[in-house]
Amino acid sequence: MKNPFDDNYFMKKALQEAEIAFENGEVPVGAVVAVNNRIIGRAHNLTERLKDVTAHAEMQAITAASNFLGGKYLHGCTLYVTLEPCQMCAGALYWSQVSRIVYGAPDLERGFSVIGGQLHPKTELVGGVLENEAAELLKRFFIQRRNLN
């Protein structure tokens, strides 16, 4: 029997967060942190609402998961995020020692792998999970944004 809690399941939850960001005029990036098939942190971009350039979905999800666990390390946890993390978020993920990062669409302009960021040596990285869905949401957002300006 197939485990219903696979990477696609959790990435769909991250995409739901990205949709909330989209509806609120934020760049549609969503993230969830899961451990033992349970979501312990969920977030979406809040940079516009909070007027804070550090309020990326990943940063918010790390904080929520850390609060849930009562500690700063995310050992045994997986971060699911709809867009490849930027260098800032990769740095925070490095320090959190998250065990796994699963992302949807690559960020060919600002992603940590393009800019030269690095992850903790023990962190496993998986890309391209529901990539098309994540990329489509971002495309829709930026088309809509261009048409409003």
Range with lowest mean pLDDT among 18-22, 100-104, 131-135, 142-146: 142-146
Domain annotation covers residue 2: no
Q: Is 75 annotated as a binding residue?
A: no
- Three-state SS string over the chain comes to CCCCCCHHHHHHHHHHHHHHHHHCCCCCCEEEEEECCEEEEEEECCHHHHCCCCCCHHHHHHHHHHHHHCCCCCCCCEEEEEECCEHHHHHHHHHHCCCEEEEEECCCCCEHHHHCCCCCCCCEEECCCCHHHHHHHHHHHHHHHHHHC
- Is 58 one of the annotated active-site residues of the chain? yes
| pLDDT, tens digit, 9 for 90 and up, residues 4-56 | 779 999 999 999 999 999 999 999 999 999 999 999 999 999 999 999 999 99
Q: Is 89 annotated as a binding residue?
A: yes
Residue 149 has pLDDT above 90, yes or no: no
Reported as a single tens digit per residue, the pLDDT across 107-131 is 999 999 988 778 999 999 999 999 9
The pLDDT value recorded for residue 1 is: 46
Amino acid of residue 96: S
Question: Is 27 domain-assigned?
Answer: yes
Q: Does a structural domain hold residue 24?
A: yes
Selecting among 17, 26, 48, 58, the annotated active-site residue is 58
| Total of domains in the chain | 1
CATH number where 127 lies: 3.40.140.10
- The model's confidence at residue 147, banded by pLDDT at 50, 70 and 90, is confident
Give a yes or no: residue 108 inside a domain. yes
Domain that holds residue 118: 7-148
143 domain-assigned? yes
1, part of any domain: no
77 is in an annotated binding site: no
